[in-house]
Amino acid sequence: MQLDPRLIRCLTTLRLERLLVLSGAGISAESGIPTYRGENGLWRRLDFEKLATHAAFDSDPRAIWSWYRERRDGVRSALPNDAHRAVARLAAVAHEALVITQNVDDLHERAGLAPEHLVHIHGEILETRCEACGSVSDAQATDGQRGCRRCGARAPSARMSCGSTRSWLSSR
């Protein structure tokens, strides 16, 4: 898919002083990543309490890691869409730009948005953080791992989105 040439022309001639973008699940839904609470959202099909809480992880960490692995695989196989690319272009031409996203995927980054212009308020699913020592690592390296490579604590947790009492997905 290509950006409309008229949009590209508009973006390159635009003189933006400040840009603030708030993005949510809708932008990544276009890339095939399911939303949480939408019509076919994850929490409509699955029980939030059984997957995204401390108790859930403690009772069956293997199942929870498996669920996260599936979601991570979905993110890795998804591609940025025109909306992600348009946001990246806008940020590139703006004097100051900040994109605040609720999304835990990396599609804004892969569309070309510079990391200094992006804040993931619910964390990043492709990273894990050890609750004991705080070290952050690539989720692919820690998936299925039994303990933190740095401090040896129990399986490092990913840091959570959506208001759970537990932090599941990495958040910087």
Binding site for Zn ion (CB under 5 A): 130, 132-133, 148, 150-151, 153
Residues 85, 81: Cα–Cα separation, whole Å:
6
**Minimal distance in Å, beta carbon 96 to Zn ion?**
36
Compute the least distance from the CB of residue 14 to Zn ion, in Å: 45
Q: Contact 101/121 with Cβ under 8 angstroms?
A: yes
Is residue 54 annotated as part of the catalytic site, yes or no? no
Which C-beta is closer to Zn ion: that of 115 or that of 134? 134
Comparison of 47 and 138: residue with beta carbon closer to Zn ion? 138
Give Cα separations from 21 to 15, 52, 100, 108, 167 (angstroms): 16, 27, 6, 11, 25
The distance of closest approach from Cβ of residue 136 to Zn ion in the complex, given in angstroms and rounded to an integer, is 10
Query: Which of 93/153 has CB closer to Zn ion?
Result: 153
- In the bound state with Zn ion, the residue whose beta carbon lies nearer, of 36 and 68, is 68
- The candidate with the shortest Cα–Cα distance to 16, out of 92, 85, 86, is 92
The nearest distance, CB 57 to Zn ion, in angstroms, is 16
The answer to whether 147 touches 155, Cβ cutoff 8 Å, is yes
Neighbours of 90 (CB within 10 A): 20
Q: How many CB atoms lie within 10 A of CB 26?
A: 12
What kind and span of H or E run contains 101? strand 96-101
What region, left, alpha or beta, does residue 154 occupy, with left being phi > 0 and alpha being psi -120 to 50 degrees?
beta
Active site members: 122
